[in-house]
């Protein structure tokens, strides 16, 4: 049986831009866990929770929306594609090209299924 969920999105149901935005955050948070734990704001934190890591990733993604002048709360397909491209660039500092492309391809697959 194939998995119906990808980064929290049920691929068998209607997919919205907000769901894909949240999937991007989840993917980024999971893929960059080690990078997140080395951020200065967490230097004195003994134990990072999953929620703390996801909040950092959410803030990072929000900052990309801001640089585009896009509304984080009302993402468009074009905004999401832009975010994916920016995250690919950032990830290239830490991750292998194969992993980056795999994750980007998964997210782009979700973007193509958006039915807002």
pLDDT 10s digits, 4-15: 777 888 888 899
Give the count of domains, the chain.
1
Q: Evaluate whether 28 touches 20 at the Cβ level (below 8 Å).
A: no
Percentage of residues of the chain with pLDDT beyond 90: 58
For residue 68, is it within any domain? yes
For residue 51, is it within any domain? yes
Domain that holds residue 105: 17-112
In whole angstroms, what is the distance from residue 66 CA to residue 19 CA? 19
The H or E element containing residue 47 is none
- Give the angle subtended at the CA of 52 by the CAs of 48 and 58, to the nearest 5°: 145
Mean pLDDT, the chain, as a whole number? 87
Name every residue whose Cβ is closer than 8 Å to that of residue 79 and which is 6 or more positions away in sequence. 17, 65, 68, 70, 71
For residue 9, is it within any domain? no
- What pLDDT, on a 0 to 100 scale, did the predictor assign at position 46? 66
For residue 61, is it within any domain? yes
- What pLDDT, on a 0 to 100 scale, did the predictor assign at position 1? 40
For residue 35, is it within any domain? yes
State yes or no: pLDDT of 67 exceeds 50. Answer: yes
For residue 5, is it within any domain? no
């Amino acid at each position: 049986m194939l998995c119906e969920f990808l980064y929290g999105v049920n691929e068998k149901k209607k997919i919205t831009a907000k769901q894909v935005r949240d999937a991007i955050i989840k993917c980024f948070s999971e893929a960059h866990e080690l990078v997140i734990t080395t951020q200065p704001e967490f230097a004195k934190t003994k134990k990072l929770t999953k929620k703390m890591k996801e909040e950092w990733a959410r803030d990072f993604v929000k900052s990309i929306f801001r640089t585009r002048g896009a509304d984080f709360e009302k993402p468009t397909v074009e905004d999401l594609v832009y975010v994916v491209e920016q995250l690919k660039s950032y990830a290239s500092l830490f991750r292998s090209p194969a992993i980056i492309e795999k994750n980007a391809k998964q997210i782009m697959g979700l973007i193509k299924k958006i039915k807002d």
